[in-house]
A and B are shown apart, each in its own frame.
Chain A
Amino acid sequence: MIQVSGLRKLYGDTVALDGVDLHVREGEIYGVVGQSGAGKSTLLRCVNLLERPAAGTVTVAGQDLTALRGRELNRARQRIGMIHQHFALLSSRTVAGNVSFPLEVMGVPRAERRRRVGELLDLVGLGGRGGDHPHQLSGGQKQRVGIARALAGNPAVLLSDEATSALDPGTTQSILALLKRLNTELGLTILLITHEMDVVKTICDSAAIMAGGRIEESGPIAGLIRTPGSRLTREIFPLPDPAPAGSVTLTFTGDPRQALVSEVVRKFDVDVSILGGSIEELAGGSVGRLRVALAGEEVPSALAYLRERGLLVETS
């Protein structure tokens, strides 16, 4: 749905994007994480050409946006929704007026606008608040207005620029649940950038880690978790780093109640001590990560058995 290739962007002598490739499939939620200054914001703003890249192409829903200018680009942007960290609502307009804005830009007639605004506000759970001004709303409600506004043009794609970073944890969860619902119900493809690992954990199907204007790792989360040495896995499961010498880190998916440790102890002549671990509910199911120390004669065969059972076994 979104295909970014060879994207480069410079600010003076600073390289903000250094050859970025990204592929977001239709209907998925794709998270780009990284520290501030990693270039993720620039990347997002290049997707709807708010920033024009120095090189590379951006294709959204089959249309090469980098080839468009002026009116044509504006028309293409109307099919790409965007939500913002600080909501970016018009303080001079009511909630309904804000949601109506993109429809006015698109030239939708008044009666049609009113009907559509009502629908959108109901969709995001703000029915009846249309007459309020944004300053009368809480942060979470403001972001709901932002989402309703972003959906006005029936976009195929929603871009989210740190949409939950200014919200408290509870509100963040409710906004993420709303995004997930829109993703499922409307088949909306979402590309989001965030510095919060929780966001990736909660709703993303795929993810990419950015640093220094480059993508270090990317792909479906289920696949990244099975990749040895994955940075994303380390970030999602904050086990103490670095792993102590001689320890083994096990990553497993599926039912977290598998009695793997006791099974290994029973089958092989090994002692297992648990050094740390966690189980996380990801969008695609639960994933556990366990750090253990094994001792005994049969350690190699025990590890081989665990690998056979489909676990990712990393020794250090």
Chain B
Amino acid sequence: MTWDEMAPLLWEGTWQTAVMVGWAAVFTVLLGLPLGVALVVFDRGGLRPLPVFKSALGLIVNVGRSLPFIVLMIAIIPFTRLVVGTTIGTAAVVVPLTVGAVPFFARLVETALREVDRDVVQAAQAMGAGRAAIVWKVLLPEALPGIVAGVTVTVVALIGYSAMAGTIGGGGLGDLAVRYGYQRFETVLMIVTVVLLIVIVQIMQSLGDVLARRLSHK
């Protein structure tokens, strides 16, 4: 296989991966952030203790995290069909990617929020701040560097999950490596894909680290 033959394939695969991971990351943050906040706020000793509700949320999160992504992807096919109307293709992969990453990200958000100094939260309460003000003005801004680090880890994990998207016709770099590199013995393409994945993950991680460091004023 020549470079000219490989280039369009690589471009297409990278683009598909970017689309899948990008959309999945957006939806993961939109859903996982409130879930993570809920795990902290409703906990025993939290701002609004509802231990039973919190345990139920925790259970759902744990169930989500126990399933290997490839199993989850197949298991929720009916749900995927309900949401995007199809079960194959790039759009259809975004649904299982999101469902798989939300519990993971929510736990990372939870951990980041728990790192916020209790003294600071109590100081805010002593100043007469209500629960909403404490979440928006104290917990989230103080935990932001940790949350950004969590987004980075999640994006890297999503890149990994997305490699399995080929199974349901999602395409992407992982699918490319399997179809050409493995099934057609195109070793060069396999190596290029692997290098490309490593480079992408490195770039994502570095961007995340720089951003987290910039936001941190400790």
Residues in chain A within 8 A of chain B (CB atoms): 48, 50, 71, 73-78, 80, 82, 84, 86, 88-93, 101-102, 104-106, 133-135, 149, 153, 159
Question: Contacts A88-B119, A90-B141, A91-B142; is A80 near B130 (CB within 8 Å)?
Answer: no
Query: Once the chains bind, are B126 and A77 in contact (CB under 8 Å)?
Result: yes
Question: Contacts A50-B122, A134-B217; is A90 near B127 (CB within 8 Å)?
Answer: no
Q: Which residues of B contact A153 (CB under 8 A)?
A: 127-128
Q: Which residues of A contact B117 (CB under 8 A)?
A: 88
Of the candidates A73, A101, A135, A159, the one whose C-beta lies within 8 Å of that of B217 is: A135
Given contacts A102-B129, A105-B129, A135-B217, 10 further A-B contacts (CB under 8 A): A76-B128, A77-B127, A78-B128, A80-B126, A91-B218, A101-B129, A101-B137, A102-B128, A135-B218, A153-B128
Look across to chain A and name the residue whose beta carbon is closest to the beta carbon of B122. A50
Query: Once the chains bind, are A91 and B217 in contact (CB under 8 Å)?
Result: yes
Question: Contacts A74-B130, A78-B128, A105-B129; is A84 near B144 (CB within 8 Å)?
Answer: no
Q: Bound state CA distance, A74 and B47, in angstroms?
A: 14
Closest CB in chain B relative to A97 CB, distance in Å: 9
B133 interfacial contact with A, CB 8 Å? yes
The residue among B120, B126, B137, B217 with the most chain A CB atoms within 10 A of its own CB is: B126
Q: Bound state CA distance, A90 and B138, in angstroms?
A: 7
Of the candidates A77, A88, A91, A159, the one whose C-beta lies within 8 Å of that of B128 is: A77
| CB<8 Å pairs between A and B, sample of 19 | A73-B128, A77-B127, A78-B128, A82-B126, A86-B119, A88-B117, A90-B120, A90-B141, A91-B216, A93-B141, A101-B124, A101-B129, A102-B128, A104-B133, A105-B124, A105-B127, A105-B137, A106-B128, A135-B218
Q: Which residues of A contact B142 (CB under 8 A)?
A: 90-92
Look across to chain A and name the residue whose beta carbon is closest to the beta carbon of B130. A74
Question: Contacts A74-B129, A76-B128, A106-B128; is A88 near B123 (CB within 8 Å)?
Answer: yes
The residue among B119, B128, B130 with the most chain A CB atoms within 10 A of its own CB is: B128
B187 interfacial contact with A, CB 8 Å? no
Closest CB in chain A relative to B39 CB, distance in Å: 21
Q: Bound state CA distance, A270 and B132, in angstroms?
A: 74
Closest CB in chain A relative to B89 CB, distance in Å: 41
Look across to chain A and name the residue whose beta carbon is closest to the beta carbon of B126. A82
Look across to chain B and name the residue whose beta carbon is closest to the beta carbon of A83. B123
Q: Bound state CA distance, A170 and B215, in angstroms?
A: 33
B202 interfacial contact with A, CB 8 Å? no
Q: Which residues of B contact A101 (CB under 8 A)?
A: 124, 127, 129, 137
Within B179-218, the residues touching A (CB, 8 Å) are 215-218
Look across to chain A and name the residue whose beta carbon is closest to the beta carbon of B144. A92
Query: Once the chains bind, are A133 and B217 in contact (CB under 8 Å)?
Result: yes
B125 interfacial contact with A, CB 8 Å? yes
Q: Which residues of A contact B133 (CB under 8 A)?
A: 104-105
Closest CB in chain A relative to B117 CB, distance in Å: 7
Closest CB in chain A relative to B47 CB, distance in Å: 13
Q: Bound state CA distance, A91 and B217, in angstroms?
A: 6
Q: Which residues of A contact B128 (CB under 8 A)?
A: 73-78, 102, 105-106, 153
Binary per-residue interface labels of chain B (98-135) against chain A in the complex, 1 for a CB within 8 Å, 0 otherwise: 00000000000000000001011011111111100100
List 4 A-B pairs, minimum CB-CB distance, nearest first.
A88-B123, A77-B128, A78-B128, A74-B128
Q: Bound state CA distance, A75 and B133, in angstroms?
A: 13
Query: Once the chains bind, are B123 and A82 in contact (CB under 8 Å)?
Result: yes
Q: Bound state CA distance, A92 and B144, in angstroms?
A: 8
Closest CB in chain A relative to B91 CB, distance in Å: 37
Query: Once the chains bind, are A48 and B126 in contact (CB under 8 Å)?
Result: yes
Q: Which residues of B contact A105 (CB under 8 A)?
A: 124, 127-130, 133, 137
Of the candidates B123, B137, B215, the one whose C-beta lies within 8 Å of that of A84 is: B123
Q: Bound state CA distance, A158 and B197, in angstroms?
A: 58
Query: Once the chains bind, are A88 and B218 in contact (CB under 8 Å)?
Result: no
Closest CB in chain A relative to B45 CB, distance in Å: 13
Q: Which residues of B contact A86 (CB under 8 A)?
A: 119
